[in-house]
Amino acid sequence: MGEFVRLEVEDGVGTIRIDRPKMNALDVQTQEEIRAAAAEATDRDDVKAVVVYGGERVFAAGADIKEMAAMSHTDMVKRSGGLQSAFTAVARIPKPVVAAVTGYALGGGCELALCADLRIAADDATLGQPEILLGIIPGAGGTQRLTRLVGPSRAKELIFSGRFVKAEEALEIGLVDRLVPAASVYEESVAWARQFTRAASYALRAAKEAIDHGLEVDLDTGLEIERQQFASLFATEDRTIGMASFLESGPGKADFVGR
């Protein structure tokens, strides 16, 4: 357990909880603790799905600008790879991941939310990539993940302007997937994650990897990724259990074992 980030596990759902007062600024230490929590969530068999949560007030208001302002070019050349890979560790968790977004998710906070498979946001949340206003660009995946999520034109408009995006617009453009009252964000996110606690774990992993890696390649290569993942699942116990259950009792009644 880190000083600012911890993994809390209950009933198969792991919560990566960021708690760095006042605004969850993502300094180097917090970035590395996020990486460690993502690795733990990946490795633990009792974690079936993951919620990324910054608390009731704020998801994460961005990078620690005071720390960043003191960095030289060579400092950032050395650090930028670690910054990206810490966030990518969340994106690569081979389990369903939902970002529970309250308050602000700006800059690095927005980039962290983009690493999730789904974003459930408060109806008064604010998101954005305002790095351009600091004379820089997003450096933790924003130019790439935002573009893949909302399309190049919208991503360019948001990144070029650095403007803040209110919750309703974020939903409209696909930056978030669902809006709920602020007090319900975490509860709704856990409920979404909990539906996977008895699912076929390796099938979920295969589906996530096929989709994510397929987005990075041409269609033919993506189809080959899918074919290989599909065929590989015939080596799992869950495939045998799932098909036998379907034949005996119909869909949705299998008791999977995660193997």
How do residues 184-196 score in pLDDT, each as one tens digit? 999 999 999 999 9
Within a domain: residue 257?
no
Residue 237, pLDDT > 90, answer yes
**In this structure, what token pair is assigned to residue 83?**
């910054």
Same domain, 73 and 98: yes
* Residue 135 within any structural domain of the chain: yes
pLDDT of res. 147: 97
63, 100, 203, 206: the catalytic one is 63
Q: Quick check: is 141 catalytic?
A: no
What band does 170 get if pLDDT is binned at 50, 70 and 90? Answer: very high
State the catalytic residue, choosing from 38, 86, 105, 111. Answer: 111
pLDDT score recorded for residue 42? 98
Residue 108 annotated among the catalytic residues of the structure: yes
Instruction: Return the axis-axis angle of helices 201-214 and 237-249, rounded to nearest 10°.
Output: 110
Residue 220 above 90 pLDDT? yes
Q: Is residue 83 part of a domain?
A: yes
Question: What CATH number is attached to the domain comprising 169?
Answer: 3.90.226.10
Query: Is the domain of 100 the same as that of 223?
Result: no
In a domain, residue 256? The reply is no
Shared-domain flag, residues 101 and 163: yes
Q: How many domains does the chain have?
A: 2
11: region left, alpha or beta (phi > 0 left; psi from -120 to 50 alpha): left
Q: Same domain, yes or no, for 188 and 205?
A: no
* pLDDT score at 157: 98
The DSSP-derived string for 231-255 is HHGGGSHHHHHHHHHHHHH-TT---
Identify whether 32 is a catalytic site residue: no
Is the domain of 178 the same as that of 208? Answer: no
pLDDT (mean) for 99-112: 97
Provide, rounded to the nearest whole percent, the portion of the chain with pLDDT above 90. 93
Mean pLDDT of 176-182: 98
Residue 14 lies in a domain: yes
Rg (CA), the chain: 19
In this prediction the pTM is 0.94
CATH number at residue 226: 1.10.12.10
Asked if 70 and 138 sit in the same domain, the reply is yes
d(CA 13, CA 97): 10
- Please, which residues have CB within 8 angstroms of residue 220's CB and are 6 or more apart in sequence? none
207 tagged catalytic: no
Of 108, 109, 128, 242, which one is the catalytic site residue?
Answer: 108
The per-residue pLDDT for range 33-85, each reduced to its tens digit, is 999 999 999 999 999 999 999 999 999 998 889 998 999 999 999 998 988 99
Point out the catalytic residue in the list 54, 99, 105, 131: 131
Q: Are 132 and 205 part of one and the same domain?
A: no
Residue 206's pLDDT band, with cuts at 50, 70 and 90, is: very high
Instruction: Answer yes or no: do 165 and 221 share one domain.
Output: no
Segment 197-211 shows an average pLDDT of 96
**Both ends of the chain: CA-CA distance in Å?**
28
- Give me the pLDDT at residue 46, please: 96
Q: Give residue 1's pLDDT.
A: 79
Last residue of a domain, one of 172, 194, 216: 194
The residue-averaged pLDDT of 202-218 equals 96
Per-residue pLDDT band for 218 (boundaries 50, 70, 90) equals: very high
CB 109 within 8 A of CB 59: yes
Residues 76, 155 within the same domain: yes
Residues 79 and 145 in one domain: yes
Q: pLDDT band at 159, cuts 50/70/90?
A: very high
Residues 179 and 242 in one domain: no
Residues 206 and 183 in one domain: no
Which range of residues forms the domain containing residue 105?
A: 5-194
Residue closest to 36 by CA, chosen among 82, 84, 89:
89
